[in-house]
Each structure stands twice: as structure tokens, then as C-alpha cells.
Amino acid sequence: METPTLSTNCAHCSLSRFALLFVSLVFAGFGLLSKAQAVSPPPDGGYPGGNTAEGNNALLNLTGGTNNTAVGFNTLLSDTTGGGNTAVGASALFSNTTGSNNTAYGQGALRNNLTGGSSAATGFQALYSNSTGNSNTAAGFQALYRNTRGSANTANGFQALYFNTLGGGNTANGYGALGLNTIGNLNTANGVNALFNNTTGHFNTANGVDALFRNTTGTSNTATGEGALSTNSAGDENTANGVNALFSSITGNSNTANGTGALFSNTTGSGNTASGTGAFFKSTTGSNNTGLGFNAGVNIETANNVICIGHPGRDVSNSCFIGHIRGVTTANPDAIPVIIDSAGQLGTASSSRRFKHKIKPMDDASEAILALKPVTFHYKSDKTETPQFGLIAEDVADVNPDLVVRDENGELYSVRYEAVNAMLLNEFLKEHCTVEELKKEVAALTATVKEQAEQVQKVSAQLDVGKPAPQMVSRSR
């Protein structure tokens, strides 16, 4: 009985020693595996170094990278030392070698990435061509598809920033937004096809369907509203806020349009400002125009330097139209006229002694107006040929240079009619004084004549008294 028991105990001892040997071999195997980091075929589940691989050829070539997660056929297949990457979907991050901290969700997402880092791609073939670009974010079918080296781009939507290759700092949200951009930088597009055709333009902002749709090389434009600046191609520094604002602009620069259809027809005009629905709607090539109000300047087509405030205006350059001014003259006793100087500044003519010095009588200085030559004429720009009455500045300057106004270039421009009126008043007062003196002289002469007449009458009366009575001569025989 004891012998079999001893034999059994020996057997148990042998099994224990064998088990210890087996466990030692297993741990040794794991030690060797932690150094290899990659085997073919890869193990099911995790690698050492915080790596996880699920799928055929996932993390197949990993050598030193850590904390990678690869799920799907050929995911992170070429990764060697890149770390912190997450790839989910067939061929996601397929070509990545040393790029780190990338996230790819979707078949072919970030497929060709080599060394680019900190990018995130979500969607079929999102960031597909990216090789060395960093810090890009793409969400949507083929978003940022052709990006290779561009960095810091964000694309959300079907084929948003699709053709971008080197452009950086762009943001595209919406179907086809910035779709054709290649090397343009720091653009923002929000809306279906916003900034769709932009290729090399920089610093543009488009918010709305088809906003800045045709822009290619234009720079520093801002468009907010469906179709705003839709046709702009190379114009710079334009701002359009409102549906179809600056819709037709092509190469115009430095325009500002606020309101639906504001500056709608503008093509090449520059330096225009339109605020209000339909303001300068028909203007095509006009420049440096300013319109404020509903349909302000709607009649302007090609004129320049026009100001329209609450008025449709006329297509005449260097003009100003302000609505709701015509009518019965105000009865306000404080009302005074508004004047404009040669530089275009508005003001009033103050007459208080508080604002004046070197005050002295005009005396004979006003006699110059007696040499002025009033004329009738027609303005060349007046299609109605309305007769006008006044003076010619050149003629007035020959008489008295102080009675004319010159423009900013020193050219004769107008006549100081208010000064002419003051001089006319002085001449009138001088003549009035003369008339008053003459009246006094006439009165004195009249009195003298009257006195003399009375004296004559007295003398005549005295003569009549001293005369002898008339003699009657008889004719009888």
C-alpha cells in the first residue's frame, strides 16, 4: 500500500516541476514577444506598448510605435514608429509611417498619410491624400480629399475642401464648401458651395449658400447671405451682407453692401457703399458712390461719386440726392441754410460778432460788382436745358479774385454769391444815401421855389394896387 503511494507522490512532484518549467517558458516567450512588437500574422488583440490591432494586416509593420489602435483591414499597415494613432476602417491610415496622434474613422480615411500628425478624419476617404499636413480635421465623404501638405484646415461636409493641397488655416462647413481651393490660406466658408471655386484667394469669409461661389483669387472678402458676392472672382476687400448682395461683382474692390440685393448689378465698380434693400441695385461700373435707405440710388448705373440718402437719384456723376427735403418751407424761426465748401464739407454761415474780427465798413470795396456781367446759360449736364441766370467765375475773378471759389486742385469752381449780395447791399445803401441827399436837396429847392413863388405873388399884388384905373375911350363922334 505504501509503495504505490510513494510512486504517486513522485509523479505529483514531477508534474509540479513540469508545470513550473512550462510557466517559465511561457513568460520567456512573452518577454521575447515584447521586443519583437510585430509578428506575421499579427496576434488577435493587443501588442505590447499599448497597441491594439484587430483585422488583417492591421499594424503589420509596427516596430516602435506605442498606443496605436487599428481596427479593420490594412489599417495602419505601414506604421513603424508612429504613436497615439487611431484608425478604424479598411485602409485607414494605410501609409502612415511615423505620423502620430492621428485619428481616422472610415474606409480610406487618411490613407496616404506618412508623417503628418494631430489630424482627424471621419468619413469615406476623408483626408485621403494627406501626406505631411498637420492638425487637419475632416468630417464627411472625401472631405479634404486631396490635401497633401496643408495644415490647420477644418472641413465638415461632402467634399468640403476637396481639392485643397497646400492651403492652410482654412475652415469649410457645408457640401462643397471651398471645394476647389488649392493653396488659398485662412479662408472660412460656411454653407453649401460657399467659396466653392476659390483656388488661391486668402482671408475670405463666406457664410451662406453659394456665397463667394466663383471667387478664385480674390482676397479679404466677406460675404454673408445666400448668393452674396457669388460672382466675384478677383475682387478684393469687399463686404456683402444680405441675400444676393454684390451678387454680380467680378473684379470690383473695396465695396460694402448691406441689404438684400444691395449693389446687385455691380461688376467692376469700386469703393461703393450701399446700405438698404436694393440700394444701388442697377449700378454696374460706378465707383465711390454712397447710398443709404430702401432702393437708395436705384437709378444710378454708371455714374461716380454720387450720394443718395433715401432717394433713387439720377445717373449723374458728382451729385447728391437727399429724399424728403422738397416741400413747403419750414416755419421754424431757427432754421438757417446749409452751405458746402470746396472740399465738400457741409456747414452754415455764422454771422455773430463772436466769430469775426477785423470788422470795418465796406465803403468803396463793393464798387467791383458794378463791373460784373450777369449772363444767361445752360448747364452742360442738364438734359432739360433749363435756362439759368448768374455769373461766370472766370469773369468774376478778373474783376475781384475774392469773389470766386476754387476747388481742391486750385481750379475756378464757383462764385461767392453771398458776398456779391452783401456788396450789392452796400452799393444799394450808398445809392440810398445819395437818393436821400437828393431828396433833401429837392425838398430844399422846392421850399425855395415855393417861397420865391409866394414873394412873386406879393410883388405882383403890390404892383396891381399902384396901377391907375384904365381909361375908357369913346368911339362916338
pLDDT of 466 higher than 60: yes
What is the pLDDT at residue 392? 97
For 353-369, give one letter per residue: b (16+ CB within 10 A) or e: eeeeeeeeeeeeebebb
What is the pLDDT at residue 47? 82
What is the pLDDT at residue 383? 85
Q: With H, G, I as helix, E, B as strand and everything else as coil, classify residue 389.
A: strand
The CA-atom distances, in angstroms, between 163 and each of 27, 70, 131, 192, 387 are: 52, 27, 14, 16, 65
Distance of CA 298 to the CA centre of its chain: 20
What is the pLDDT at residue 15? 34
What is the pLDDT at residue 20? 37
What is the pLDDT at residue 469? 64
Contact between 78 and 97 (Cβ < 8 Å): yes
What is the pLDDT at residue 202? 98
pLDDT of 329 higher than 90: no
Average pLDDT over residues 440-469: 86
pLDDT of 9 higher than 90: no
What is the pLDDT at residue 13? 40
What is the pLDDT at residue 36? 32
Average pLDDT over residues 182-200: 97
Q: Read off the pLDDT of residues 137-172 as tens digits, 9 standing for 90 and up.
A: 999 999 999 999 999 999 999 999 999 999 999 999
- Predicted confidence band at 422 (pLDDT cuts at 50, 70, 90)? very high
- Predicted confidence band at 462 (pLDDT cuts at 50, 70, 90)? confident
Q: What is the CA radius of gyration of the chain?
A: 49
What is the pLDDT at residue 336? 82
For 340-349, give one letter per residue: b (16+ CB within 10 A) or e: eeeeeeeeee
Q: Letter for the amino acid at 41?
A: P
pLDDT of 176 higher than 80: yes
Average pLDDT over residues 360-380: 94
Least confident of 1-5, 144-148, 165-169, 452-456: 1-5
What CATH number should be reported for the domain whose range is 362-457?
A: 1.10.10
Q: With H, G, I as helix, E, B as strand and everything else as coil, classify residue 391.
A: coil
Contact between 278 and 259 (Cβ < 8 Å): yes
pLDDT of 132 higher than 80: yes
Contact between 357 and 345 (Cβ < 8 Å): no
pLDDT of 327 higher than 90: no
pLDDT of 305 higher than 80: yes
pLDDT of 6 higher than 50: no
Average pLDDT over residues 205-210: 98
Contact between 145 and 131 (Cβ < 8 Å): no
Average pLDDT over residues 3-15: 36
Rounded Cα gap, residues 125 and 144, in angstroms: 9
Mean pLDDT of the chain: 88
What is the pLDDT at residue 335? 79
Q: Read off the pLDDT of residues 214-228 as tens digits, 9 standing for 90 and up.
A: 999 999 999 999 999
Cell numbers 471667387 label which residue?
215
Contact between 374 and 392 (Cβ < 8 Å): no
Cell numbers 396891381 label which residue?
464
What is the pLDDT at residue 35? 34
41 preceded by cis ω (within 30°)? yes
Average pLDDT over residues 450-458: 90
Average pLDDT over residues 348-367: 91
What are the structural domain ranges in the chain?
362-457
Copy the grid coordinates of residue 62: 509596427
Q: Read off the pLDDT of residues 13-28 as tens digits, 9 standing for 90 and up.
A: 433 443 333 334 333 3
pLDDT of 376 higher than 80: yes
DSSP 123: S
What is the pLDDT at residue 29? 37
